[in-house]
Chain A
């Protein structure tokens, strides 16, 4: 098998991993060798599905002795198998990196022989890269559940970011769909990494040249739509992971059916992309907008509204808090206005220190007035006045993406021969009545 075939088989197996970020660590010119990293990360290209390709995302091998039901590489599946040698993979990475195709390596692997054996192969690859090629670019390594703590520590000293996949949002689903993995075997390496990162921060304060352990932090991912958990459960779990393990990111991956199994959605089910999108929006609200999971979703309303982005949905349910006076409101309140993001909120705070705010200035600062105009006052004046219907308000907030052709939620309307815009009006009426 030549490198081309191996690359095809192993990239194909790795593509369901979501994380392809190269952010979180800044390294300038190396003393020897090649490579640097950028704090904000760099996207090198975008695949036909619109996902960023930043790292050479690849499995070391797809020969697996686990039998997870949802996974394309499970041992009972009949697919071509391949394995890279550490030398081949290191050479490939360096050659791609020199040509600026990639920002670094994302190394994952199926479980060959045992978790420890696989991790040793991964360590060997990263050692070649870091020591022989003196590669200082970004490396993301996956920790395999069940690996011994000593090997995880070694891997963590070579990689920039590590991740342990939580796979499914609850223990019962995990038991059903991934019989070889347990909650404990996933959470143990995660808490080891969290502890190691915290300890390393302390060491770096005392000794500037202490070896860096996972400097770009850890992340995780879970599959959405393969198991019955609701959005509220997922968001609470996400929030818990951020708080307890100090994760940098939690990724969601809409389940793409690759397997025929009675435990999983049918093979022709389209991936729940809109749901995944809403969860990411809610994730942003948790990380950057100072929302909590309980504010966004309640027991009576356990799922995110597919037609509204979560922030607009929250605002519609808390109209008593609006409008907000921009020239006096604290930063935290500004963040809660639909149409104002982190950057525009910061710019508003900076601007109002030196001059009075005006509506045309807001637009230049980057505020999306289409949504924000209903929720703000500028020096006591509102851009829309008080004369607007609940329906106009909802109409402005509805997410056009939910009404674009191809989104499966709307198949309902096809029979009634309703156009998309009519469907949109209908939905606005519906939601405004519920307010």
Chain B
């Protein structure tokens, strides 16, 4: 491992911004101690270098990853970027520095200290995304399927490809409580938007009936003589339980509370307007007018579909 340079990079918190940091680290022959985004900035004794985001530099690094290391490396870098790994920027920089020296064979060196953090982060994210493809629970509110999740990693882009393929004729919202973002899909278009809070009207009686049927089925399929809560918790860790309705015994969790007037007002018309089956209780609550695109996809590249991860 090389000795780190006494410098801290600061960038704008975007993916192209990070690629520019990689570019500058190579251009200046530096290995920055830390890479901070603007909001992480804090007083320190090390010199701080501000890295300006320049699209042509970012493109060059992106192209380098693609042509010198291949698609799988590109995927690892994206995954790490979306993961909750602490200091993910430095982990990506270390991986790329080592990778450009080593060549494409770096992809086989998953246990190497320079590669292991990126490899582990990618695995954690893919595994969590895979688990959530099963653990998401929709409830239908006015013709729209709504769900709330609390993932550690930013998995919405990965859920997007899965659910838009699976339910192409539906309209749905998956709200990520951890990152305050929502995936909205309607009329064959999907978008990830910032959303501070999502409160919804209580589900109808009919909807609660479906939830009750499901809960009844879930309780019935257990073989009592084999009861094994430890095994259950191994497979579905407790942190997912709050969003999986059959595992929470509180029926009030099925109701999401009342829709505040401010939210109703804030969300009126827009390109992704959702329409309900029944206009009386149709949720005109979600349009991305006030919301900027959150953590936009890196350089307009499609997110690779989930494949082969068995969790």
Enumerate chain A interface residues (CB-CB to B < 8 A). Answer: 3-4, 7-8, 11-12, 14-16, 28-30, 32-36, 38-40, 42-54, 56-58, 92, 95-96, 98-101, 103, 137, 254, 256, 270-271, 273, 347, 350-351, 353-355, 360-365
- Determine the distance from Cα of A45 to Cα of B245 in the docked complex, in whole angstroms: 10
Contact call B111/A365, Cβ cutoff below 8 A: yes
Contact call B221/A15, Cβ cutoff below 8 A: yes
* CB of B140 within 8 Å of the partner chain: yes
Contact call B134/A44, Cβ cutoff below 8 A: yes
Of listed B140, B214, B217, B220, residue having the most chain A CB within 10 A: B217
* CB of B45 within 8 Å of the partner chain: no
- Determine the distance from Cα of A303 to Cα of B166 in the docked complex, in whole angstroms: 45
Total A-B residue pairs with C-beta atoms closer than 8 Å? 169
- Determine the distance from Cα of A355 to Cα of B135 in the docked complex, in whole angstroms: 40
* CB of B279 within 8 Å of the partner chain: no
**What is the minimal beta-carbon distance from B288 to any residue of chain A, in angstroms?**
23
- Determine the distance from Cα of A154 to Cα of B140 in the docked complex, in whole angstroms: 35
Name A56's closest neighbour in chain B (CB-CB): B217
Residues of A within 8 A of B303 (CB): none
* CB of B2 within 8 Å of the partner chain: no
- Determine the distance from Cα of A114 to Cα of B38 in the docked complex, in whole angstroms: 72
- Determine the distance from Cα of A355 to Cα of B147 in the docked complex, in whole angstroms: 46
Contact call A92/B220, Cβ cutoff below 8 A: no
Name B145's contact: one of A49, A50, A53, A98 (CB within 8 Å).
Answer: A98
* CB of B67 within 8 Å of the partner chain: no
**What is the minimal beta-carbon distance from A288 to any residue of chain B, in angstroms?**
12
* CB of B47 within 8 Å of the partner chain: no
Contact call A101/B137, Cβ cutoff below 8 A: yes
* CB of B109 within 8 Å of the partner chain: yes
- Determine the distance from Cα of A157 to Cα of B229 in the docked complex, in whole angstroms: 39
Contact call B223/A16, Cβ cutoff below 8 A: yes
Q: Mark B229-255, 1 if CB is under 8 A from A, else 0.
A: 111101110000000101100000000
Residues of B within 8 A of A32 (CB): 169
23 intermolecular pairs with C-beta atoms under 8 Å apart:
A8-B220, A11-B216, A44-B135, A45-B218, A45-B244, A45-B246, A46-B235, A47-B222, A48-B232, A49-B224, A50-B234, A52-B235, A53-B218, A92-B213, A95-B210, A98-B138, A103-B134, A137-B166, A256-B226, A350-B107, A351-B110, A353-B108, A365-B110
Told that A47-B232, A271-B225 touch, could you supply 8 new A-B pairs with CB distance under 8 A? A8-B220, A11-B217, A51-B222, A99-B139, A100-B163, A270-B225, A273-B226, A364-B110
Q: Mark B80-105, 1 if CB is under 8 A from A, else 0.
A: 00000000000000000000001001
* CB of B168 within 8 Å of the partner chain: yes
* CB of B133 within 8 Å of the partner chain: yes
Contact call A49/B102, Cβ cutoff below 8 A: no
**What is the minimal beta-carbon distance from B117 to any residue of chain A, in angstroms?**
10
Name A49's contact: one of B130, B137, B222 (CB within 8 Å).
Answer: B222
Residues of A within 8 A of B221 (CB): 11, 14-15, 47, 51, 53, 57
- Determine the distance from Cα of A47 to Cα of B212 in the docked complex, in whole angstroms: 16
Residues of B within 8 A of A39 (CB): 307-308
Residues of B within 8 A of A347 (CB): 108, 110-111
Contact residue range for chain B? 35 or more
Contact call B134/A42, Cβ cutoff below 8 A: yes
- Determine the distance from Cα of A103 to Cα of B135 in the docked complex, in whole angstroms: 11
Name A50's contact: one of B232, B306, B311 (CB within 8 Å).
Answer: B232
Q: Mark B193-212, 1 if CB is under 8 A from A, else 0.
A: 00000000000000000101
Enumerate chain B interface residues (CB-CB to A < 8 A). Answer: 102, 105-112, 116, 120, 130, 133-140, 145, 147, 162-170, 210, 212-214, 216-218, 220-232, 234-236, 244, 246-247, 306-311
- Determine the distance from Cα of A354 to Cα of B98 in the docked complex, in whole angstroms: 13
- Determine the distance from Cα of A363 to Cα of B147 in the docked complex, in whole angstroms: 38
Of listed A38, A44, A101, A355, residue having the most chain B CB within 10 A: A101
Name B210's closest neighbour in chain A (CB-CB): A95
Contact call B111/A351, Cβ cutoff below 8 A: yes
Contact call B110/A48, Cβ cutoff below 8 A: no
- Determine the distance from Cα of A14 to Cα of B221 in the docked complex, in whole angstroms: 8
**What is the minimal beta-carbon distance from B87 to any residue of chain A, in angstroms?**
18
Closest 3 CB pairs of A and B: A50-B231, A350-B108, A361-B111
Contact call A45/B247, Cβ cutoff below 8 A: yes
- Determine the distance from Cα of A67 to Cα of B199 in the docked complex, in whole angstroms: 54
Contact call A99/B108, Cβ cutoff below 8 A: no
Residues of B within 8 A of A45 (CB): 134-135, 218, 236, 244, 246-247
**What is the minimal beta-carbon distance from A270 to any residue of chain B, in angstroms?**
7
Contact call B167/A98, Cβ cutoff below 8 A: yes
- Determine the distance from Cα of A34 to Cα of B168 in the docked complex, in whole angstroms: 7
**What is the minimal beta-carbon distance from A348 to any residue of chain B, in angstroms?**
9
Residues of B within 8 A of A270 (CB): 225
Residues of B within 8 A of A273 (CB): 226
Residues of A within 8 A of B111 (CB): 347, 351, 360-365
Contact call A354/B214, Cβ cutoff below 8 A: no
- Determine the distance from Cα of A362 to Cα of B139 in the docked complex, in whole angstroms: 45
Residues of B within 8 A of A363 (CB): 111
Assuming A4-B212, A34-B166, A92-B213, is B137 touching A100 (CB within 8 A)?
A: yes
- Determine the distance from Cα of A77 to Cα of B309 in the docked complex, in whole angstroms: 44
Name B174's closest neighbour in chain A (CB-CB): A100
Residues of B within 8 A of A256 (CB): 223, 225-226
Of listed A33, A40, A96, residue having the most chain B CB within 10 A: A40
Assuming A28-B165, A40-B308, A99-B145, is B223 touching A49 (CB within 8 A)?
A: yes
